[in-house]
Chain A
């Protein structure tokens, strides 16, 4: 008769777990690790070319540069998890920032209300596009391409004849230009590490309470120490320049929050299920259309938040807000960092990692005074490479899929 899963000897379980790790690395589930290594290589190369690259000042600048695109990418990750695409996020980010600015500057709204209104514009646009996509089964590519054009037109309309509006409100400009003191920076570090340790240990306790064998306490301790080290080093570097920027905290908060939603909640599970096999999800009683609409709503919302951060940093909105390469970088980032274009695979923190990779390339080449021409070509090359790696990983999975 068969041996049961529970009756297997312990050594067998360990062997399976180990081969599982190897398989995950090869087949791309641990693509993020590859990307971290790639990022290290990129940093070493630029540092060797220009020793200003890894200074505290430049790294702080890098963080400020990636905030907007990283926030937009968070929404893109959700859309990619469904196996869909949203081409309108750049235009939506520009429009939302313009709405906020016009309400604040021209109509005298309070900065908070103006910000909320800008974000809600993004949410509404996302929900609309998601509804059109799921109701009429028009490919998301087409719906959001139409959106790209339409919302760019709306941006010009909202800006009116001036074409550019400066932002003076300190509450709004403060979003991207606030830095915390050293002491506050360290408090933040302690809070982050304590919260991480608390979550990890709570998860462990829950497994033990249900009589499940976990990975043991040692790997958990390693993870906690690793997070603590990264946090301490990051805060130390940021403190030696202007301090921890509010913009970075906003980005991190959204990354952590949406990572939690994706991996730990029923909604997130259903997003992965719809992206993996929509028909299976439907038969399991999951409201596929509802999931799709909400995901596009998230994409619109995050686009708006990213656009508002970009405007805060620029201290203005103008006709090219949310234009040019912003959209493409927001999509390229998560893909480079390992979120699959085919749906069902990926993680929210690839938004942050991808933005770091792309931001580093762009920042480094600026330091080397390379032209935009070279920057675009190199970034394009990196994206292509990442997409090919994703496709190869997918083929391997399919080849290994049904033994």
Chain B
């Protein structure tokens, strides 16, 4: 592997929705400080795989190890408590709330002292922490008290990523983080992903955009029709090879490639 110890390892994971075999004995790993690009055609099983890791779907078969230990992830809370954070494509931000409120949504800090009875928000502490978090990511946001609805797509993506880091996760799953972003904003988000790697996080990036994946990923895993159809080191392969694995036009690189 390109980087340190394996953090998250999936072995032979399968998931079936009625007649559709969405995942078929998929192996997948991501290590510390490693960015893994997860690519594949529509319906290849990328989203299903991520949702399985995130605890939204539970697998029909196969095992998941986290930090070397076999774990069961059957609810989103299980994933969160293990240290797996997910940033969904539609971001799930509240446009009517400011940046601080969105970063802490559902995990608000409560004041000490007598006001604790009413669950009074500790706004100053939250703003302080949000400011640390965002400047640690070198994020460009005009004011922490701006409503999220007034931010650009790239800034919203950064807020969503910052929020996922609040629980100090070890693995971050990003679902199409650059979809619908302009060129400079895409660059911001890719740089942000680079900084997550520098912090030693394992990062899984789903993307349709192979150029983006090549720019940021250490390793590229291809899914095709629910099966692992290739596992490439980004520096040692070319877009042609990856495209071939995606489309099934022969030549796939890794185990599980279609015969």
Contact = CB atoms under 8 A, between A and B. Distances in A.
Contacts of B144: 5
Interface residues of B, number: 46
A150 interface: no
B140 A284 contact: no
Contacts of A211: 128
Nearest to B187: A2
Interface string B93-118: 11111000100011110100000001
Contacts of B105: 269, 273, 280-281, 284, 286
Contact of B92 (A2, A5, A267, A284): A284
Given A5-B139, A286-B105, A402-B153, A277 B131 contact: no
Contact of A280 (B93, B128, B152, B191): B93
Contact of A266 (B88, B119, B128, B134): B119
Contacts of A344: 94-97
Given A6-B135, A265-B119, A267-B119, A16 B93 contact: no
Main secondary structure, interface of B, reads loop
Given A5-B135, A265-B118, A286-B106, A23 B150 contact: yes
Nearest to A24: B147
Nearest to A209: B124
Given A280-B93, A402-B153, A16 B140 contact: no
Contact of A210 (B92, B107, B108, B127): B127
B97 A273 contact: yes
Contact of A269 (B108, B143, B150): B108
A400 B148 CA distance: 11
Contacts of A207: 124, 127
B149 interface: yes
Contacts of A277: 92-96
Contact of A4 (B91, B110, B135, B143): B135
Given A281-B94, A402-B152, A20 B120 contact: no
B138 interface: yes
A201 interface: no
Interface in A249-263: 260-261
B42 interface: no
Contacts of A137: none
Contacts of B106: 270, 273, 281, 284-286
Nearest to A342: B96
Nearest to A81: B96
A207 B125 CA distance: 8
Interface residues of A, number: 46
Contact of A345 (B88, B92, B96, B151): B96
Nearest to A403: B152
A171 interface: no
A266 B108 contact: yes
Given A273-B105, A276-B97, A401-B150, A4 B92 contact: no
A212 interface: yes
Given A5-B134, A210-B127, A280-B105, A272 B97 contact: yes
A209 B124 CA distance: 8
Contacts of B131: 5-6, 212
A348 to B, nearest CB: 15
B56 to A, nearest CB: 10
A210 B128 contact: yes
A276 B150 CA distance: 14
30 contacts: A1-B191, A3-B140, A5-B142, A6-B131, A6-B135, A210-B125, A212-B128, A212-B131, A264-B120, A265-B119, A265-B120, A266-B110, A266-B121, A272-B96, A273-B94, A273-B97, A276-B97, A277-B92, A277-B95, A279-B92, A284-B106, A285-B107, A286-B106, A344-B96, A344-B97, A397-B149, A397-B150, A401-B95, A402-B152, A402-B153
Interface of A: 1-7, 13, 16-17, 20, 23, 203, 206-207, 209-212, 260-261, 264-267, 269-270, 272-273, 275-277, 279-281, 283-286, 344-345, 397, 400-403
The 4 closest A-B CB pairs, nearest first, are A284-B106, A344-B96, A276-B96, A276-B94
Interface of B: 76-77, 88, 91-97, 101, 105-108, 110, 118-125, 127-128, 131, 134-135, 138-146, 149-153, 156, 188, 191
Given A265-B119, A280-B94, A284-B92, 16 more contacts: A2-B140, A3-B140, A206-B122, A210-B125, A264-B121, A264-B123, A267-B119, A269-B108, A272-B97, A273-B97, A276-B95, A276-B96, A279-B92, A285-B106, A344-B95, A401-B95
